[in-house]
Amino acid sequence: MILFTPKRPPPDGRTLVDQAVDAIEQAIDARILRPGMVLPSVRQFARDHRLSTFTVMTAYNRLVARGRLQSRPGIDYRVARPAPARPPAAAWEAPQVGPAWLLSDVFADHSMAIKAGCGWLPPDWHNEAGLQHALRQLVRVPVGQMASYGHPLGYHPLREHIAHHLGGYGLAADAGQILLTHGATQALDIVIRTALKPGDHVAVEAPCYANLLQILAMNGVIAHGVPRTPDGLDEDALDALAGAHPLRAVFVTTVLQNPTGASFTMAGAFRLLQLAERHDLLVVEDDVSRELLLEPAPLLAALASTRRVVYVSGFAKSVMPSLRVGYLLCEPNLLRRCAQTKMSLGLTSAEIMERTACQVLRDGRQGPYLRGVRERLGQAHDQTCQRMREAGFEIAHEPGAGLFLWARPRQALDHPGGAIGLAARALKAGIWLAPGAYFYPDRRDEGWFRFNVAYSSAPALWAFFREAARNPE
């Protein structure tokens, strides 16, 4: 059976394997090859079409991977039978807004046309050239160098790079003090599981990173909110809280806080560290957005050393969320215990991802890329704040940098269901909003929302708020 005549040299870059795959697929689609029919053996197909057996074997295996052929090793290849017809997809329904949706389901939900409440950069903002170059370099690495589980602390060259980078911020560290993790969120989980126990009391910012609240709750740790201010934490509230409860730790985001976008001032940082020293509190510093900052800001771990501070960061904001590479830095004894926790939870972290991150960070494209991102975010802040002022929003703070704004539309105060009710209404219109209630330990709903400025330019978003103002439900 002759299905095609190979063209040499291949036209338009279509290799001989590509030509064979296309010919067989066309024969299947035209019903020349029917479901269940046995194909010629690899040697026979190669002789009939004047191809190498390697070319035919590669083509057959590619068609197996695509589900067009079935393979019985050592026996034959035959045309795969079509999969049973699936029932028609149900009509789309808006998901139910809630903490579970915000923290997990939303990552699998691609139905939202406008993601004003999300926590990451748009896909077309990423350093595509740097990432592609890193992946090309990765495929050149011999498989044997990546076949094992890797070091418990993570890929050493990346840890060296991180240590050198942090030195530029005044934080003296070496690679042996750094533990790589599956994202910064896992780093927080590892610290909580290692340094705390069920029933312990901790202070968190109010509002704070929503996933942190879930991690603390799952580990049985009791979280108390301390108001976040544009300068840092409300020190009087933290001092009173430490006097009322046996606090073990305080969790803070130093710069471009999620969700308010606020950054600590130097005075605010010193006051927090003084309180931590007075009450013997472990300070867990979440610092994932520093690379998006326009100007210098305090780094607690550099001011107080890792004796008092556990430093957590990652590359979801500066490189790419799906890379899932984070890290923590702390004093040696705690680091050893954190490494044991990491190994107990899931063995080593993914060295392939760590190698990719290392290559991106060492490539000369990352610096100019980040400068461009900071500029675009600054413009997005200006535009979003202007739209909010025109719409009568209350803006808690205007950082001018980073991803987030914390703002309150008057519609949320008028809406019968508050911000949560307004967010549920927005979902039906294909708009994802992040209600402020999910960022507070006590789930208070005071009408606030977290806005991602990189996703807040769509006219339909502001048309929705205008309509909600005219017709509160």
201 has a pLDDT exceeding 60: yes
> Which residue's structure tokens are 């840092």?
232
> Which residue's structure tokens are 């040299």?
9
Domain boundaries defined on the chain? 11-79, 99-125+367-470, 128-362
Whether the Cβ atoms of residue 139 and residue 288 lie closer than 8 Å to each other = no
91 has a pLDDT exceeding 80: no
96 has a pLDDT exceeding 90: no
Give the per-residue pLDDT at 87. 61
Q: What are the helix (H) ranges across 363-409?
A: 366-390
pLDDT digits (tens, 9 = 90+) for 234-246: 999 999 999 999 9
Q: Return the percentage of the chain with pLDDT > 70, whole number.
A: 92
The mean-pLDDT minimum among 98-107, 156-165, 298-307 falls in: 98-107
Backbone φ and ψ for 414, nearest 5 degrees, come out as -85, -25
CATH number of the 128-362 domain: 3.40.640.10
Give the per-residue pLDDT at 92. 43
CB atoms within 10 A of CB 380: 18
Average pLDDT, the chain: 88
pLDDT digits (tens, 9 = 90+) for 391-403: 999 999 999 999 9
Instruction: State the Cα–Cα distance between residues 359 and 76, nearest whole angstrom.
Output: 43
Query: What is the SS3 assignment for 232?
Result: strand
Q: Any long-range contacts for 163-170 (C-beta under 8 Å, 24+ apart)?
A: 165/361, 166/302, 166/311, 166/329, 169/290, 169/299, 169/302, 170/299, 170/302
Architecture of domain 11-79: Orthogonal Bundle (1.10)
Question: Identity (one letter) of the amino acid at 374?
Answer: R
The H-or-E segment that residue 227 falls in is strand 222-229
Give the per-residue pLDDT at 128. 79
451 has a pLDDT exceeding 90: yes
Instruction: State the Cα–Cα distance between residues 455 and 434, nearest whole angstrom.
Output: 12
Instruction: State the Cα–Cα distance between residues 382 and 386, nearest whole angstrom.
Output: 6
Stretch 184-194: mean pLDDT, rounded?
Answer: 96
| pTM as predicted | 0.80
Stretch 258-270: mean pLDDT, rounded?
Answer: 96
Instruction: State the Cα–Cα distance between residues 456 and 261, nearest whole angstrom.
Output: 15
The H-or-E segment that residue 45 falls in is helix 42-49
pLDDT digits (tens, 9 = 90+) for 12-39: 778 899 999 999 999 999 999 999 999 9
Tell me which of 148 and 347 has the higher pLDDT. 347
95 has a pLDDT exceeding 70: no
Whether the Cβ atoms of residue 163 and residue 173 lie closer than 8 Å to each other = yes
pLDDT digits (tens, 9 = 90+) for 101-154: 555 544 445 566 789 999 988 888 887 788 788 778 877 777 776 767 778 899
Whether the Cβ atoms of residue 466 and residue 391 lie closer than 8 Å to each other = yes
Stretch 443-447: mean pLDDT, rounded?
Answer: 91
CATH number of the 99-125+367-470 domain: 3.90.1150.10
> Which residue's structure tokens are 């900071």?
374
Give the per-residue pLDDT at 85. 62
Half-sphere exposure of 402 toward its Cβ, with a 13 Å CA cutoff? 26
Q: What are the helix (H) ranges across 66-209?
A: 99-103, 128-139, 156-167, 184-195
Stretch 46-54: mean pLDDT, rounded?
Answer: 93
DSSP string, 247-277: EEEEEEE-SS-TTT-----HHHHHHHHHHHH
Give the per-residue pLDDT at 1. 79
40 has a pLDDT exceeding 90: yes
R_g of the chain computed on alpha carbons:
27
362 has a pLDDT exceeding 70: yes
pLDDT bin (cut points 50, 70, 90) of residue 86 is low
Length of the chain: 473
Give the per-residue pLDDT at 50. 92
Give the per-residue pLDDT at 100. 56
428 has a pLDDT exceeding 50: yes
Tell me which of 224 and 113 has the higher pLDDT. 224
Stretch 204-233: mean pLDDT, rounded?
Answer: 95
Please classify residue 91 by burial: count the beta carbons closer than 10 Å to its beta carbon, then call 0-12 exposed, 13-18 middle and 19+ buried: exposed
280 has a pLDDT exceeding 80: yes
